[in-house]
Structure 1
Amino acid sequence: MAKEFSRSDRVAEQMQRELADLLQFEVKDPRVGMVTVTEVEVTGDLAHAKIYYSAKANTPEQQQGLEKSAGFLRTQLSKRLLLRTVPQLHFVYDASIDNGMKISRLIDDVLASDAASKDK
């Protein structure tokens, strides 16, 4: 019977849980702020991981803070995960939530203008 998920998918899922916990409780860098890990993609050889995150205000300082804390996060992941080598961490801002909110606002504006035109 074949496995439903590849090993890299299972590692990515576990890394997402652990990184969310570490970013919330362990990282002390004030530049990082409140960050939500939306997805983690791990390469097949487990050498690199892309961490997609969203934040209320994406700033270059926040990106820099995440990149600077990558070594600390990697060390903590090595203690929490049973892996021979922990992947290099690469942080990527996920703008999908911002785009969704923008589209929602546009739809609300159109519905409000449509309702106003029907009332006239």
Structure 2
Amino acid sequence: MAREFSRSQRVADYLQRELALLIQQEVDDPRVGMVSLTGVDVSRDLAHAKVWFTRLGSDSAEEAREAAVALNGAAGYLRTLLSREASMRSVPRLRFVFDGSVGRGRHMEELIREAGKRDRALDAGREGADDPSDGEG
């Protein structure tokens, strides 16, 4: 069982590296834009691969949907290119899915940064109120 996991993980890593290059060099659809592959999940039987991607410089849901449609439209072509170069018996069917976790992470980071600023402002206000050198005494 561990061997199956190891094999599927090696295939996933290979697909991620190769697809990143192929998308950059071979896909000319403007809807795709600058994409980054964030991960690949390969089924145990190596027949299907879910390819997670994010678009650089854009968090728009509409643009992400368009990029997913374009990438899924090119999936057969990409699979053909992979089959020419891969030493695998068969190349998994590709399905591209937008990875929204990067955008959510950026949003969470901004919320944490904003909370930190507010805490510092509150602390500075408290320190000024507790200052014994304010002329009393």
Do the structures match in fold with TM over 0.5? yes
Counterpart in 2 of 1:72? 77
Among 58, 77, 81, the alignment partner of 2:86 is: 81
Superposition CA RMSD, Å: 1.7
The residue aligned with 1:36 is 36
**What SS class does the counterpart of residue 28 from structure 1 fall into?**
coil
* SS in structure 2 of the partner of residue 54 of structure 1: strand
Counterpart of 1:92 in 2: which secondary structure? strand
Overall identity of the aligned pairs, in % = 47
**Amino acid of the structure 2 residue aligned with 1:19:** L
Distance 2:83 2:33 in 1: 23
Aligned length: 119
Larger fraction in helix: 2
Task: Show CA shifts across 1:14-49 (max 9, x none).
Answer: 010000111112111111111101111111111100
Residue 25 of structure 1 corresponds to: 25
Structure 2 partner of 1:61 = 66
Q: Deviations over 1:24-80 (max 9, x none)?
A: 121111111111011111111111000011113352211111111111110111112
Where in structure 2 are there 5+ consecutive unaligned residues?
A: 126-137
Q: What amino acid sits opposite 1:103 in the alignment?
A: M
Match of 2:95 among 56, 77, 90: 90
Q: Which amino acid aligns with 1:48?
A: H
- Aligned equivalents of 1:82, 1:53: Cα separation in 2: 25
Letter in 1 for 2:107: K
Contact 2:38 2:54 (C-alpha < 8 Å) held by counterparts: yes
| More deviation, 73-82/4-13 | 4-13
TM-score by length of 2: 0.80
Aligned to 2:123: 118
Q: Which runs of 5+ in 1 are unaligned?
A: none
